[in-house]
Structure 1
């Protein structure tokens, strides 16, 4: 039997961490959990110190972004491969995860044997995608190539985020955008934070500049 895959678990829910740890404990000869973290900062410190084979992350870590953490980890510890374990079965999340440098995207309904097998594949250098998402990704990629999606879809924007960005380009305030789309201002702010992250900007002016420069809206 080979050396067990060394894994750090990252999730902001203690019950999830406990459940994953218990699940993987039954495969100690193949996978060994060497650390657990509940925040991005804690995870960055732990992974940097332990340098595991795999960091298993959730996409959302409370108010933090697992995608941002993935970018940080791949920069700080490139030898550690990042795999997302998420409840979100939207292929757009997968595209964004891969753009962030992830080596895999699995759904939380995965069972123990499948999870262990996937972690071993990632440790060998493979990229793994949950089977229920892989086929949809191929179709989505083909449609993106044909330009059949909304502006910004190739950057990972959801259709709603694209709508918010289009109104941002016209100069509308958050309140006006909320009124136009029949949303709360807080929801609009949440969409803005997401699209800022995906466009790799920090404010509305920069987001508008990217949208215009790339011809997303005219």
Structure 2
């Protein structure tokens, strides 16, 4: 393999995805070289420490852990390593969060091998890459934000979904009630709640509601 091939660590909690990526990228061994894989963030930390890759390719969610938090962590511990998120979440709010914490790319898993390698090459050359499928919605969201059309809590870093969850918490809904209202699982609701707690700097529901009322997010 060429010495100048881009080195990669792959992080995904599904072993089948890792096998698929390995098989797909094996056709481009002259351009990319997989130096490690991990199915959890704890495993990924050790793998990155040992291999010092050019790029970490990671999902937005890895089990119950946040790939977004991992991006921010690697910015502190391995600033020379670029992180690209490869995910099924085609949500521009996740994309905005990813860019905010330092991700150098946001790519959807529907991509083929040649396109993925081209994106990784651009990232390794210093570009920030966004999946073309999201480009139109990103531009529209940016235009709305520029026009002042924020959702409640956007100025505190909340995604639109986190804002919706917080509104239901303020209204007195339980996790089960929030899940029913938004037609999602309770585990998904808990994930959003953990995210908004972190962003609001609180430890519990009462603290989140207090911040929401104090900041005038909801009345």
* Pairwise TM-score range, normalised by the shorter structure: 0.7 to 0.9
* 1:81 Cα deviation after fit: 0.4
Q: Which residue does 2:186 correspond to in 1?
A: 186
Q: Which residue does 1:10 correspond to in 2?
A: 11
CA contact (8 A) 2:176 2:186 kept: no
CA contact (8 A) 2:169 2:178 kept: no
Q: Which residue does 1:106 correspond to in 2?
A: 107
CA contact (8 A) 2:175 2:190 kept: no
1:174 equivalenced with 2:171 (yes/no) = no
CA contact (8 A) 1:144 1:153 kept: no
Q: Please give the TM-score of this superposition, normalised by the length of structure 2.
A: 0.86
Relative to structure 1, the CA distance from residue 22 to residue 146 in structure 2 (aligned partners, 3 Å threshold; closer, same or farther) is: same
What count of residue pairs does the alignment treat as equivalent? 216
* 1:194 Cα deviation after fit: 3.3
Give structure 1 stretches of 5+ with no counterpart: none
Give the distance between the partners of 1:86 and 1:105, measured in 2 at CA: 8
Give the distance between the partners of 2:88 and 2:214, measured in 1 at CA: 34
Cα distance per residue 1:33-89 (max 9 Å; x no partner): 000000011111111221111000011111111111111111110100000001111
Relative to structure 1, the CA distance from residue 34 to residue 147 in structure 2 (aligned partners, 3 Å threshold; closer, same or farther) is: same
1:53 equivalenced with 2:57 (yes/no) = no
Give the distance between the partners of 2:185 and 2:59, measured in 1 at CA: 27
CA contact (8 A) 2:175 2:186 kept: no
Q: Which residue does 2:140 correspond to in 1?
A: 139
Give structure 2 stretches of 5+ with no counterpart: none
Give the distance between the partners of 1:96 and 1:179, measured in 2 at CA: 22
CA contact (8 A) 2:168 2:178 kept: no
Q: Please give the TM-score of this superposition, normalised by the length of structure 1.
A: 0.87
Q: Which residue does 2:160 correspond to in 1?
A: 158
Give the distance between the partners of 1:216 and 1:163, measured in 2 at CA: 11
CA contact (8 A) 2:83 2:103 kept: yes
Is the partner of 1:9 in helix, strand or coil? strand
* 1:175 Cα deviation after fit: 6.1
